[in-house]
Chain A
Amino acid sequence: MEEYLNKGIKEVIKNYSEVGIILDEHKIGCTTCGVGTCLLKDIVEIHNLPSEEERDLLAKITKVIYPGSDIKIPEVKRKESHSRKIKYSPPIKKLVDEHLLIKRWIALIPQVIENLNLDSPHGRQLIYDGIDFIRTFADKYHHAKEEDILFKYFDENLDIIKVIREDHENARAHVSMILEAIDNKDRKTIIKHLIDYQKLLTEHIKKEDEILYPWMERNLSIAQIGDLFSKFNIAVKEFKSTPQRSREFIERVEREYNIKEVIK
């Protein structure tokens, strides 16, 4: 079993498709991940399941890989955690709170698509403003804090960090495609990439809030948490009016589409 714990999850699922179903049952969404290089043992550790559930998961996987054999279920080492309930430290909570504004933008995308009018200056400007929100708030203000500060506390070759970075790159690629399409008045391409962006960011935020950040919290010392908090404060000062301006943009679009703020 140790052999499989040290294999990439995509390879394990490729050879044993039932493993993907088992992971889905435990709400571990590896089957939809485009990368899939995380090792099985890291996946088990990162998700921090209650010990009984973890044993159950490993027992089921062992049964699939070694049917009929009496294989000892391995123990995956993890840092001690007193509670499974997610309560973020102040610097990580800042990132989670920023996600709320990004989620409000994501929630607006269906209305933006429905009302897309590339023939009117106002219609085009709305898309430009949306792109500006993604670039300045979601990317420069938020993702940069992760990439330039938070990830530096970890081995950046870890698969989980590679997966997150890849999501950031894919989001940037969608934005570039939308911008190019506005200039060409290519409605179909704009809609395609807005939908792809919406799907990507929805999964991405869930991944960060529920898996990446709690795992990082368990592995950061209190001194690192304090250090991170100070560095985030410095970074926030550099952006001055960006959060306020971004919030105003979201509120304006919500008013325009008569949408009440539902994401808290």
Chain B
Amino acid sequence: MTDFDGCPGSKMQDFRKKDGKEGEITGKIKSQLRQWPIQMQLISPTAPYYECADVLLTADCVAYTMGGFHPDFLKGKSIGIACPKLDDGQESGLYEEKIKSWIEDAKINTLTVMIMQVPCCMGLVSLVQQILQKSSRKIPVKSIIVSLEGEILQEEWIST
């Protein structure tokens, strides 16, 4: 395996356990997803499942890193997923338009933004913060930063 410096978002890292113990999985975990589609590029922000909902806006990688993503974070929420690095939604203004519509048209109750610890993810939180500052309707927004190995590094409310 070769390691290389450069972008922390694409730096190679090996998390395999040296002792072969990868963590036991007991019982079948039920999906908490209650809608389709989920990609920000595809969703309609005024779909019925967003109306007055608690919404989770998450970077694509988050669900893969966290073992308990469905029961701990997705349960009871509607979702939109995006990759601020690879999608062009942020540059084209599509994300901004849809997040704004969640807040102002769908009148969502809360927004939780989950991102990875890598720098390329941070833009998603900044974008939400900017939209919120401009919006006449305020809602509680929480940001959660997840480590590459699925631990919560930071959980805080975004000030409006």
A contact set with B: CB distance below 8 Å: 82-83, 87-91, 93, 221-223, 225-227, 229-230, 233
Contacts and interface: CB of A to CB of B under 8 A. Distances in A.
A229 B157 contact: no
A88 B112 CA distance: 15
A218 B45 CA distance: 30
B110 A226 contact: yes
A90 B76 contact: no
B160 A90 contact: yes
Interface residues of B, number: 17
Contacts of A222: 54, 77, 110, 112, 140, 142
B25 to A, nearest CB: 20
B148 interface: no
Contacts of A221: 76
Interface in B32-61: 54
B104 to A, nearest CB: 14
Interface in B111-160: 112, 138-140, 142, 152, 154-157, 159-160
A222 B152 CA distance: 17
B156 A90 contact: no
A229 B155 contact: no
Contacts of A90: 138, 140, 157, 159-160
A222 B113 CA distance: 12
Nearest to B109: A226
18 contacts: A82-B155, A83-B155, A87-B156, A87-B157, A88-B157, A89-B142, A89-B157, A90-B138, A221-B76, A222-B54, A222-B140, A223-B54, A225-B140, A226-B139, A226-B140, A229-B110, A229-B138, A230-B109
A229 B137 CA distance: 11
Interface of B: 54, 76-77, 109-110, 112, 138-140, 142, 152, 154-157, 159-160
Contacts of A227: 109
A91 B140 contact: yes
B142 A229 contact: no
B156 A229 contact: no
A67 B152 CA distance: 41
B110 A225 contact: yes
A226 B160 contact: no
Given A83-B155, A87-B157, A223 B140 contact: no
Nearest to B137: A233
A163 to B, nearest CB: 27
Contacts of B77: 222
Nearest to B142: A222
A91 B138 CA distance: 11
B155 A223 contact: no
A226 B139 CA distance: 7
B39 to A, nearest CB: 23
A104 B152 CA distance: 38
Nearest to B156: A87
B139 A223 contact: no
Contacts of B152: 82
Nearest to B157: A89
Which of the listed residues B152, B157, B160 has the most CB atoms from chain A within 10 Å of its own CB? B157
B159 to A, nearest CB: 8
A131 B157 CA distance: 35
Given A90-B160, A229-B140, A230-B109, 5 more contacts: A87-B156, A221-B76, A222-B142, A223-B109, A226-B54
Ranked nearest first, the 7 interchain pairs of A and B with the lowest CB-CB distance are A226-B109, A226-B110, A90-B140, A223-B54, A82-B155, A229-B140, A222-B110
